[in-house]
Amino acid sequence: ATNPVQNSTGVIVNADESLTIPGGLSSEYSGVTNFTELKTYMASKAGWYRNFDIPLYAERDLARATYFSGLVVFPAYTPNVDTCTSEGYSSFYYLYEKTGTNYINWPTKSEPYFGIAAVVTVLKDIDGNFSLITTTSTGEVVGEDPPDCLPNQQCGGGGNPPSSDGSTGRQSWREIILY
């Protein structure tokens, strides 16, 4: 039988690869003290999940995730606490695909920006630099410089996990013409 999915909410991987585990999860992660042990522990599970921040006005995911260099990136939206204001705030989440946590001292989440975010898109400029962008309900284009590539990963992908040979990006292409 497969082990159930594991809650990774609030687990933080520090710069020295030690873990900060919230009190409510400490018994579930008993004996797991560093990033290497965390990856091994999570590999024995059927997957991971994460609860959103639950303030008075609950955070939620309104767009599909994008895969980028070993990270699952998606925007989350929190309504404004002022009920007379129509827009709230969005942030990018950066979660390591194997653990559902941040990757060694990287942020789990970006700074908030105003409006409801759409799907995150990966852009590569002519110099080979990557950006993560989204548009918001206000019409603003919001960009984030992503964390550097994870070790042993190619940057890029824009929604496609690595293929069996480790490459990322579109694995096939089909032209759709609307008449």
One-letter amino acid for residue 3 of the chain? N
Tens digit of each residue's pLDDT, the chain (179 residues): 457 899 998 899 998 999 999 887 888 898 999 999 999 999 999 999 988 766 656 788 888 888 888 888 888 888 888 878 778 888 888 899 999 999 887 788 888 888 888 888 888 778 877 788 888 888 888 887 766 566 555 554 433 333 334 444 444 444 445 55
In this structure, which amino acid lies at residue 95? L
**pTM for this one?**
0.74
Q: Which residues pair with 121 in a beta bridge?
A: 133
Cα-to-chain-centroid distance, residue 160: 14
